[in-house]
Amino acid sequence: MGDQNTTNESRKYPTSFGLFYPIGYLVVGFKSKEDAKQVQQDLFTGGYVPEDCEFFTCKEVAEAAERNLDTGGFLPRLGGADKVIEIHLKAAEEGASFLVIYAPEKTSVDRAMNVIRRVPFEFAHRYHRLAIEELE
């Protein structure tokens, strides 16, 4: 648990048993790139800094998800993390855009979700130490 993996050279997020597992972050998928960028801009206006709210293209997420699924072992499958990554991969293959938002406590999650809910979104996954929560 604590090793690092990247979706590109400059972005590092925690992994668990070899799979992307960013504890304390939200991973949000949007059908529209414009909606993702609007949410990102609104979060910046509200005080987020770029490293705490990063945009990822469908290509970046698809490559990272495929790499993660190729290297995952038995424990991630048992815990269900690979199922969430499969959701990310499917959305990426359909052209979705993504935000990875740092939200370590409930207040920051609520704040981010208030902004996210202003636009249509595919999913919002909150990564806890031992669970991945689907937010609505």
Q: Where are the domains of the chain?
A: 18-135
Give 23-44 pLDDT, tens digit per residue. 999 999 999 999 999 999 999 9
- What pLDDT is stored for residue 80 in this prediction? 61
Domain range 18-135, its CATH number among 2.40.50, 1.10.730, 3.30.70, 3.40.50: 3.30.70
DSSP E strands, the chain: 4-8, 11-16, 19-20, 25-30, 53-56, 97-102, 123-127, 132-135
Beta bridge partners of 133: 126
- What pLDDT is stored for residue 107 in this prediction? 97
Give 50-96 pLDDT, tens digit per residue. 999 999 999 999 988 888 776 655 444 445 677 888 899 999 999 99
Cα–Cα distance measured from residue 29 to residue 71, given in angstroms and rounded to the nearest whole number:
23
Q: What is the pTM of this model?
A: 0.82
